[in-house]
Structure 1
Amino acid sequence: MFVNSMNFRELRFARAMKFTIHEINNRTDLLPGITIGYQIYDSCAEVAMALKLAFQFANGMESFFNNTDSCVKSAAAAVPALVGDSYSISSITMTRMLAAALVKLVKYFGWTWIGAVRSDSVYGNTGMASFLKAAQEEGICVEYSEVFYRTEPRSKLERVANVIRRSTARVIVAFLHEGEVRLLLEELTRQPPPPLQWIGSDAWIVDPEFLRFNMCAGAIGFGVPRSVIPGLREFLLDLSPAQALKSPLLTEFWESSFSCSLKGSSEGARECDGSEDIRALQNPYTDTSQLRITNMVYEATYAIAHAIHGVICNDTQCDKSAKFTPCDPSILNTLTYVNLTYLTLAIIQHIQTCFKVVKCPLPLPFFVFKITMNVLHLSNVFQVPRSVCSESCPPGTWKAVQKGKPVCCYDCIPCAEGEISNKTDSLNCVRCPPEFWPNTQRDECLPKPVEFLSWDDTLTVLHHILSTQLQCCVTVLSYILV
Structure 2
Amino acid sequence: MNQSKVMKESSLMLYCCVFSAVSSSLYSSSCQLQEQFNLNGMHKTGDVILGGLFAINFFSDDLDLTFTSESQLPTCYGFDVLGYRQAQSMAFAIDEINRNSNLLPNVTLGYSLYDNCLQVGIGFRAALTLVSGQEEEVTLQDSCVGTPPVVGIVGDTTSSNSIAISAVLGLYRVPLVSYFATCSCLSDQQRFPSFFRTIPSDAFQVNAMIQILKHFGWTWTGLIISDNEYGVHAARSFHSDLGPAGGGCLAYTEILPWGDDPAELRRIVDVMRKSTARVVIVFANKSRMINLMKEVVRQNVTGLQWIASEAWTSVDVLQTPHLMPYLGGTLGISIRRGEIPELGDFLLQIRPDLHHNNTDGNSMVNQFWEHTFQCRFAPPPAGWVEAGGELCTGQEIIENVEIEFFDVSDLRAEYNVYKAVYALAYALDDMLQCEPGRGPFSNNTCAHLQRLEPWQRVGEFKRSSFKGEELTLDEDKIFWNFESKQPPRSVCSESCPPGTRMARKKGEPECCFDCVPCSEGKISNTTDSMECTSCPEDFWSSPQRDHCVPKKTEFLSYHEPLGICLTSISLLGTLICVLVLGIFIHHHSTPIVRANNSELSFLLLVSLKLCFLCSLLFIGRPRLWTCQLRHAAFGISFVLCVSCILVKTMVVLAVFRASKPGGESSLKWFGAVQQRGTVLVLTSIQAAICTAWLVSASPVPHKNTQYHNDKIVYECVVGSTVGFAVLLGYIGLLAVLSCLLAFLAKNLPDSFNEAKHITFSMLIFCAVWVAFVPAYISSPGKYADAVEVFAILASSFGLLVALFGPKCYIILLRPERNTKKAIMGRCTTK
Query: TM over 0.5, yes or no?
Result: yes
Q: Which of 429, 450, 464 is residue 365 of structure 1 equivalent to?
A: 464
Question: How many angstroms apart in 2 are the aligned matches of 1:155 and 1:34?
Answer: 56
Q: Which of 254, 258, 275 is residue 167 of structure 1 equivalent to?
A: 275
Partner of 2:14: none
> Can you list the C-alpha shifts for 1:55-89, whole angstroms capped at 9, x where unaligned?
565xx51157xxxxxx9759861343321212243
> Can you list the C-alpha shifts for 1:394-452, whole angstroms capped at 9, x where unaligned?
xxxxxxx963355234389xxxxxxxxxxxxxxxxxxxxxxxxxxxxxxxxxxxxxxxx
Measured after TM superposition, the shift of residue 14 of structure 1 is 1.3
User: Gaps (5+ residues) in structure 1?
Assistant: 65-70, 338-363, 392-400, 413-482
Q: Which of 90, 106, 123 is residue 50 of structure 1 equivalent to?
A: 123
- Higher helix proportion (structure 1 or 2): 2
Asked whether 1:407 is paired with 2:534, we answer no
Instruction: Say if 1:150 and 1:135 are closer, same or farther in 2 by CA, change over 3 A.
Output: same
Question: How many angstroms apart in 2 are the aligned matches of 1:312 and 1:300?
Answer: 19
Asked whether 1:112 is paired with 2:219, we answer yes
Question: How many angstroms apart in 2 are the aligned matches of 1:8 and 1:74?
Answer: 40
Instruction: Say if 1:209 and 1:273 are closer, same or farther in 2 by CA, change over 3 A.
Output: closer
Measured after TM superposition, the shift of residue 310 of structure 1 is 2.9
Partner of 2:207: 100
1:37 is paired with a residue whose SS is strand
Asked whether 1:282 is paired with 2:393, we answer no
Which has the bigger relative contact order, CA under 8 A and spacing at least 6?
Answer: 1
> Can you list the C-alpha shifts for 1:295-326, whole angstroms capped at 9, x where unaligned?
110011111222223333269xx978354446
> Can you list the C-alpha shifts for 1:156-209, whole angstroms capped at 9, x where unaligned?
111111111111111110112223223323322344446221110111111243
Does the 8 A contact of 1:165 with 1:192 survive in 2?
Answer: no
In our comparison, the structure showing a higher alpha carbon Rg is 2
Partner of 2:85: 12
Asked whether 1:181 is paired with 2:289, we answer yes
Asked whether 1:271 is paired with 2:398, we answer no
Partner of 2:240: 133
Asked whether 1:384 is paired with 2:487, we answer yes
Question: How many angstroms apart in 1 are the aligned matches of 2:504 and 2:268?
Answer: 25
Asked whether 1:220 is paired with 2:331, we answer yes
Instruction: Say if 1:157 and 1:369 are closer, same or farther in 2 by CA, change over 3 A.
Output: farther
Higher mean C-alpha displacement, 10-19 vs 244-253: 244-253
Q: Which of 194, 201, 204 is residue 309 of structure 2 equivalent to?
A: 201
Asked whether 1:321 is paired with 2:436, we answer no
Q: Which of 91, 102, 107 is residue 34 of structure 1 equivalent to?
A: 107
Does the 8 A contact of 2:282 with 2:309 survive in 1?
Answer: yes
1:98 is paired with a residue whose SS is helix
Does the 8 A contact of 2:302 with 2:326 survive in 1?
Answer: no
Asked whether 1:300 is paired with 2:420, we answer yes
Partner of 2:371: 256
Does the 8 A contact of 2:278 with 2:304 survive in 1?
Answer: yes
Please tell me the residue identity of whatever aligns with 2:505: G
Please tell me the residue identity of whatever aligns with 2:392: C
User: Gaps (5+ residues) in structure 2?
Assistant: 1-75, 141-145, 163-180, 184-200, 440-445, 495-501, 514-830
Does the 8 A contact of 1:19 with 1:235 survive in 2?
Answer: yes
Instruction: Say if 1:185 and 1:149 are closer, same or farther in 2 by CA, change over 3 A.
Output: same
Instruction: Say if 1:84 and 1:273 are closer, same or farther in 2 by CA, change over 3 A.
Output: closer
1:117 is paired with a residue whose SS is strand
Question: How many angstroms apart in 2 are the aligned matches of 1:388 and 1:72?
Answer: 66
Asked whether 1:153 is paired with 2:153, we answer no
Question: How many angstroms apart in 1 are the aligned matches of 2:139 and 2:285?
Answer: 37
Higher mean C-alpha displacement, 164-173 vs 225-234: 225-234
> Can you list the C-alpha shifts for 1:276-312, whole angstroms capped at 9, x where unaligned?
2222233443332331101110011111222223333
Identity percentage of aligned residues? 29
Measured after TM superposition, the shift of residue 150 of structure 1 is 6.6
Partner of 1:62: 133
Measured after TM superposition, the shift of residue 50 of structure 1 is 3.2
Question: How many angstroms apart in 2 are the aligned matches of 1:215 and 1:243?
Answer: 47
> Can you list the C-alpha shifts for 1:214-273, whole angstroms capped at 9, x where unaligned?
121211121114332111111111023456856222122222322323354558553224
Question: How many angstroms apart in 2 are the aligned matches of 1:106 and 1:371?
Answer: 13
1:5 is paired with a residue whose SS is strand
> Can you list the C-alpha shifts for 1:326-384, whole angstroms capped at 9, x where unaligned?
65535xx37x27xxxxxxxxxxxxxxxxxxxxxxxxxx335979434234465675422
Question: How many angstroms apart in 1 are the aligned matches of 2:137 and 2:468?
Answer: 46
Instruction: Say if 1:327 and 1:73 are closer, same or farther in 2 by CA, change over 3 A.
Output: farther
Instruction: Say if 1:83 and 1:375 are closer, same or farther in 2 by CA, change over 3 A.
Output: farther
Does the 8 A contact of 1:117 with 1:172 survive in 2?
Answer: yes
Question: How many angstroms apart in 1 are the aligned matches of 2:506 and 2:110?
Answer: 58
